[in-house]
Amino acid sequence: MELVCPAGNYPSLKAAVDNGADAVYIGFRDNTNARHFAGLNFTDQRAIKALDYARNNNVRLFVAINTYAQADQWSRWQYAVDACADLQVSALIAADMGVMAYACEKYPELSLHLSVQGSATNAAALELYHQQFNIRRAVLPRVLSLKQVQALVKKSPVELEVFAFGSLCIMAEGRCLLSSYVTGESPNTAGACSPASAVRWEQRANGGMDTRLNGVLIDRFSAYEQAGYPTLCKGRFKVQSEAEEKIVHALEEPTSLNTLNLIPQLSEMGISAVKIEGRQRSPAYVAAVTRIWREALDACKANKNEFQPEGRWMAELSKLSEGSQTTLGAYSRPWQ
């Protein structure tokens, strides 16, 4: 299985390459990619430097142009695709049918991967993208159980890549409008979920902290709790169950996905690549996660039957996780 790692900037890219990534994915510095945050991503010049570093180290470079092209800014997406073709990147990761059609007609030799934002969760959808745009690989949304992934690999006309570690999106990616419902900006339109400009942290008199998104109270922390980033799906809200009204993480707790102990199964069933999430994270984070996953994948390759995640790997990954909690997410049926 290929280890695909994130890079929000050049130091992160070096960290990923130096610590054993097989491929690194980046985005350009605008809303053509789903991690459009201030200070992140690559200009054309930086992308050339990134490409050189990756190529010199025998690592593949993917570019994500995985937001949906806004009609009034169409040329921006065209330009981004042209840039990928000029750079001769190893793959272009896209979600928008219009963008894919443009890429596939103009640059038939450019390898296309269907982004997780494309929301393809079944064989028929994958066949459509394969038939229409000749995609070589698809990244699966984080909604399928391990059994369902296994069934899909058997039917899929293309390679499949799955999320292995990082922030846990609990909604089918590409079809979540929670962020724009509250802030006006979403991954699909602006390349941002819960945009930083809409975030407010408010210290309370009792030492606690309120976190808000565009004025909406997402969570209220006591003085003893560590306040998390106000992502809509991970807030604490008031809901009425059959029994009582309660304040709970009604959608999901702040937690990260960690599938380290699924490596043998994923590899056995024919998954082509595992993806690390986190283009918005620091180079130190990318270095640590890449190194651990490299060691784990190599250990599994050397002796699949005996593979056990080492305690030190799990401890370190746990430290790098949201709220220091990890989960198998949808891969594990009881989570659903």
Q: Which residue positions form the known binding site?
A: 169, 176, 193, 233
Assess 171 for contact with other proteins (CB under 8 A): yes
**Which span (49-57, 243-251, 278-286, 314-322) binds other proteins, by CB under 8 A?**
243-251
Tokens of 215: 């004025």
Pairing of strands 216-221, 91-94: unpaired
For 226: left if phi > 0, alpha if psi spans -120 to 50, otherwise beta; the answer is beta
Measured N-to-C along each axis, helices 123-133 and 97-106 cross at an angle, to the nearest 10 degrees, of 40
Question: Half-sphere exposure of 267 toward its Cβ, with a 13 Å CA cutoff?
Answer: 20
**Which span (64-72, 84-92, 256-264, 291-299) binds other proteins, by CB under 8 A?**
64-72
Binding mask 85-104 for other proteins (x = CB under 8 A): ----------xxxxx-xx--
**Which span (85-93, 183-191, 287-295, 309-317) binds other proteins, by CB under 8 A?**
183-191
Cα 269 to Cα 61: distance, rounded to the nearest angstrom: 25
Residues facing residue 249 across a β-bridge: none
* Residue 254 CB, nearest approach to other proteins (Å): 15
* Residue 243 CB, nearest approach to other proteins (Å): 8
Assess 148 for contact with other proteins (CB under 8 A): yes
Which DSSP helix (H) or strand (E) runs through 162? Answer: strand 159-167
Cα 100 to Cα 108: distance, rounded to the nearest angstrom: 11
**Which span (30-38, 80-88, 213-221, 318-326) binds other proteins, by CB under 8 A?**
213-221
Assess 236 for contact with other proteins (CB under 8 A): yes
Assess 123 for contact with other proteins (CB under 8 A): yes
Total length of the chain: 336
Out of 127, 159, 295, 316, the only residue in the binding site for other proteins (CB under 8 A) is 127
Out of 184, 303, 312, 324, the only residue in the binding site for other proteins (CB under 8 A) is 184
* Residue 301 CB, nearest approach to other proteins (Å): 29
* Residue 164 CB, nearest approach to other proteins (Å): 17
Assess 145 for contact with other proteins (CB under 8 A): yes
Please say whether the beta carbons of 230 and 214 come within 8 A: no
* Residue 174 CB, nearest approach to other proteins (Å): 6
What is the b/e burial string over 59-93, where b = at least 16 CB atoms within 10 angstroms of the residue's CB?
bbbbbbbbbbbeeeeeebbbbbbebbeebebbbbb
Assess 250 for contact with other proteins (CB under 8 A): yes
